[in-house]
Amino acid sequence: MKALLSLERVGKSFGGLAALADISFSVEAGEILGIIGPNGAGKTTLFNVITAFFPPTEGTVIFDGRPIGGLPPHAIAHRGISRTFQNIRLFSAMSVEENVMVGRHCRSRAGVWRGVLRTRGQRGEEREIRERTRELLELVGLEGADPGREARALPYGHQRRLEIARSLAAEPRLLLLDEPAAGMNEAETREVFELIRRVRLLGVTILLIEHDMSLVMKACDRLVVFNFGRMIAEGPPAAIRKDPRVIEAYLGPEEGSEDA
């Protein structure tokens, strides 16, 4: 399989603190790769570097064969990388429908004047966007939600789904999901698992951060484990589950040595 995303010795420092150091791995097209590790291990910082919220201090990020370092976030989205956030970032006062439509902006062909003049092409594109919005809301299980309802009025789990729908509106080739099951109960987590599988069937490659081990062990093809800003293990879930370095990172050296 071809690597869609590659990180080559990526590091990120804030002042004298190294949040990431010497990170190198690849994400193959079509796979679901999970990033796991204790709190503060650098997982979300990695997402911020990939999506250009933070520039890397060192190393190279390559997407689809081309370095993307130095590009602004909107250009990263246009290249085909979209994401959700650890803390939900919806446009809370906008409607459910409008939140998804905003995600489509980077694919819109209509410029300012076409929008102002309401040309035939602009009206046709808006119809297409609304139709795609309905499809995405159905995909994430929100087909019953009032599209005119304010996003902040949705239950927590539905807001998580809406954020995924908005990310998919940009037609990403790579989707970064930052703890999509955070704060959910067991039934909701199962629904997230099914949603991730449906997204992959669309041809979208997924890079997933998640603390729910039952979810990542079932959903992911491979796992990369972080601890204190460094990679300590990489491999299939079955191997990662037994890796003594991973056990030690989660449980501490004494517990880890006993369980190993």
Please write the tens of the pLDDT for every residue from 62-117: 999 999 988 999 899 999 999 999 888 898 889 999 999 988 776 566 543 354 44
Residue 258: what pLDDT? 43
1-80+172-260 CATH choice from 3.40.50.300, 1.20.1560.10, 3.10.20.30, 3.30.390.50: 3.40.50.300
Mean pLDDT, residues 7-14 taken together: 97
Tell me the DSSP string of 23-85.
EEEEEETT-EEEEE-STTSSHHHHHHHHTTSS--SEEEEEETTEE-TT--HHHHHHHTEEE--
| Closest to 180 (Cα-Cα) out of 169, 195, 200 | 195
| Closest to 165 (Cα-Cα) out of 88, 217, 109 | 88
Please write the tens of the pLDDT for every residue from 207-259: 999 999 889 999 999 999 999 999 999 999 999 999 999 998 886 665 444 44
At residue 168's C-alpha, the angle toward residues 59 and 35, to 5°, is: 40
Residue 129: what pLDDT? 87
Residue 62's φ and ψ, nearest 5 degrees, are -120, 125
Residue 123: what pLDDT? 67
pLDDT band at 120 (very low <50, low <70, confident <90, very high): low
Residue 23: what pLDDT? 98
Residue 4's φ and ψ, nearest 5 degrees, are -85, -40
Amino acid at 89: R
Question: Alpha carbon 131 to chain centroid distance?
Answer: 24
Please write the tens of the pLDDT for every residue from 122-151: 667 778 888 899 999 999 999 888 889 999
Residues 248 and 235: beta-carbon distance below 8 Å: no
Residue 260: what pLDDT? 34
* Tokens matching residue 117: 């003049």
The total of other beta-carbon atoms located within 10 Å of residue 231's CB is: 21
Residue 259: what pLDDT? 40
Distance CA 99, CA 104 (A): 9
Higher pLDDT, 102 or 34: 34
- Above 90 in pLDDT, residue 54? yes
Please write the tens of the pLDDT for every residue from 153-196: 999 999 999 999 999 999 999 999 999 999 888 899 999 999 99
Residue 145: what pLDDT? 86
Residue 87: what pLDDT? 87
User: Strand pairing partners for 62?
Assistant: 6, 67
Distance CA 162, CA 151 (A): 8
Amino acid at 209: I
pTM strictly above 0.85? yes
Residue extent(s) of CATH 3.40.50.300 domains in the chain: 1-80+172-260
Residue 255: what pLDDT? 46
